[in-house]
Amino acid sequence: MKKLLFAAALLTLTASAASAGISLNWNQCYPFAPTTGLNRLDNCYVCPNTADYRLVPSFDAPSSIPNFVATRSIVDVQMSGPVPDWWRFESGGCRAGSLAVQVYNGNVTQCPDAMFGNNLTGPVLVVFNAFGGNANYIRIIADLSRDNDFAMTAGQHYVGEQLFINHAKTTADCDLTPTPDTTPVCLGCNTTTATLVLQEVQLYVSTVPAVPPIVLTSVDVGERNFVNFRGGAGAPVPTQNKSWGAVKALYR
């Protein structure tokens, strides 16, 4: 009987997930800044360069979820040309380590942080450069998990994590004193445009035995799941890749 009840609850949760929207924005969650968060046009090569870019995936809870523990966001990046050094975040790339997964530090009234107020495990970040054999394409998979259960409210808009892009290796030493900075500059920030699309958000629960994640892919009417960098480069075509599971042990 317990198995039948659990199966029925899981089917209800999965069915409702289809109508739960996902959103993507710069710096703040989408409901808080839907217009100003669409495009970034900053001049990359200025002195001093202290700016940062924060990419914020967010979602509507598809149902009341009493035991949420982890989220995965899949973001695809379409470039206007081959991926330049400035966007090479993968291991061994010119700016390896300049993309990181962090907790959200923006508006917490309209978009509560589902990771706030607990010890986090992870995060885990994987960057696939030239994903799917396309030299102009990047796929980013970001995972963040809690060490305890969090009760989500149906219909509430949540942020699971944010992707933080720093400006390391963007600008050479500005004042040349006391000695010139020999850190190499990774070019391509100003010259290559990009469109970033949140393809899906996966929600994990702490059920034992483990169950498949709740996968959110739809976009609510009037909202969007993409942002532009320096004008955009056209939306990437979704590529199915749901078998990646290197961090499943974190959620059990």
Q: Regarding predicted confidence, which is higher, 94 or 179? A: 94
**Number of domains present in the structure of the chain:** 1
Q: How far is CA 17 from CA 5, 96, 182, 197, in A?
A: 19, 34, 51, 19
Model pLDDT for residues 206-228, shown as the tens digit of each residue = 988 888 999 999 998 888 999 99
- What is the span of the domain harbouring residue 76? 2-251
Confidence at 16, pLDDT banded by 50, 70, 90: very low
Predicted confidence band of residue 96 (pLDDT cuts 50, 70, 90):
very high
Least confident range of 166-170, 182-186, 214-218, 236-240: 236-240
Q: What is the pLDDT of residues 129-146, one digit of tens each?
A: 888 888 999 999 999 998
